[in-house]
Structure formats: C-alpha cells, structure tokens
Amino acid sequence: MKAKQEVFLRLAFLFCGLTIAHLGVTLFLLANLGADPFNVFIQGLHHLMIGFNLTHGIIHMCISFMIILVLLVVDRSYIRAGTIICMFCGGPIIDFFMWLLNGLGIDTMGLPVKIPVLILGCVILAFGMTIVIRSEAGTGPNDLVAVVISEKGHFNFGITRVTTDIIFVLAGFILGGKLGIGTIICAFLVGIVANFFMPYSQKFINSGLKLIR
C-alpha cells in the first residue's frame, strides 16, 4: 500500500511542478520576446522541412518521440509515467494560463514591463522544472536531454542545462529558426536558477514522502 501511495504522491508532485513550470512558460510567451531554446530548434527544423507540410506541433511531437526512443536504448529507466504526462499535459496547462492571463495585455507593453515578466517566467519555469525532476516520476523529453547528460557524465546540472540550451539555439538558428532577447535570457538563466532550486526541491519532496513512510 505504501508503495502505491508513494507512486501517487510522486505523480502529484510532478503535476504540481509541471503546472508551476508552464505558468513560467506562459509568462515567457506573453512577453513575446523570442521563443525558448528548444522551440527555436523546432522552428529551425520546421523551416528545413517546409516542403513536407508539417506543423510546428507535429515536429515537436516527433522530436519528443525520437528522444524517448533514444533513451529506451541508452537507459529506459528515465522513461516513466510522468514523461508521458509531461508530453500530453503541458499544452493544455499553457492554454489554461494563456486564457487566464491574456487579458493583462503584457504583449502590448514596453520592454520595462516585458523583460521583468520574462525573467520572472524563467525563474518560475526553472523552479517548477526542478520539482518535476526531483519527483523522480518522469521528466519531459526535452528536459531529459540535460538530465541524462548531467547524470551520466556526472556534470553540474546548471552548466549542462545552459550548454544544451545554447546548442538548441545555435542549431535552430542555423536551420532558420528565429530568436530574440528572450531566447538568450532563457538559455543562460534557466539552467543557473534550476541548479539553485534543485536541493530545495529535493528537500520539499523528501519532506512530503516522509509523511507516508
């Protein structure tokens, strides 16, 4: 019974972290100062395959599935129920927050408002992401890239995340993706902030798990 309760609680932590992270993503999108690094990469692939009539969303999903297939070969233990939840719940959560916050008119405001909103979005995204990762119930495919490289190579997660984000940005830009000041801020900020929050998120989840042990 306790094992089932722990699985349920870890999934609850994951969904909580996913919701927080996508609130950050929504603020990032509302600032409208450039796509996040992974989506710049997807934009580049979309531009490269323009003749195939594939939408941005379809390419995003295909790349996510490709990451999962690679991980099934490298180490399938990273593919958990939460990975699937992250894949399919992220979009609806963003849609909800867009509906909730769209009336604020952030996209029509000047840079003195947009940049702080964007930075706040990156911080919230990083915090939510660490809860998802430390829940150990699964992580979204694009986030797993940095997690796996960090754990397999015994590298600092913050540095690994910044590095993978920069690679996504450069690859996407070379392929024809568009980037903005928000892309650059996100690439350098999220990994560093996530590295700061990681131990606190671990303590938070451990405290919750102690209640059922």
Cα distance between residue 92 and residue 33, in whole Å: 22
Residue 23's identity, in one-letter code, is: L
Distance CA 75, CA 188 (A): 28
The percent of residues above 70 in pLDDT, for the chain, comes to 99
Q: Where are the domains of the chain?
A: 2-207
Do 35 and 162 contact (CB within 8 A), yes or no?
no
Is there a contact between 184 and 40 (Cβ–Cβ < 8 Å)?
no
Strand locations in 74-210 (E): none
Task: Indicate the helix (H) or strand (E) that contains 121.
Answer: helix 111-135
- Alpha-carbon torsion angle 161, 199, 124, 212, nearest 10: 120
Q: Give tens-digit pLDDT for 39-63.
A: 889 889 988 887 788 777 788 888 8
Confidence band, pLDDT 50/70/90 cuts, at residue 117? very high
DSSP label at 137? S
CA angle 202/187/74 to nearest 5° reads 60
Cα 6 to Cα 12: distance, rounded to the nearest angstrom: 10
Instruction: Select from 159, 111, 107, 137 the least CA-distant residue to 7.
Output: 137
Cα 131 off chain centre by: 11
Choose between 64 and 11: higher pLDDT. Answer: 11
Largest CA distance in the chain: 56
> pLDDT class for 202, splitting at 50, 70, 90?
very high
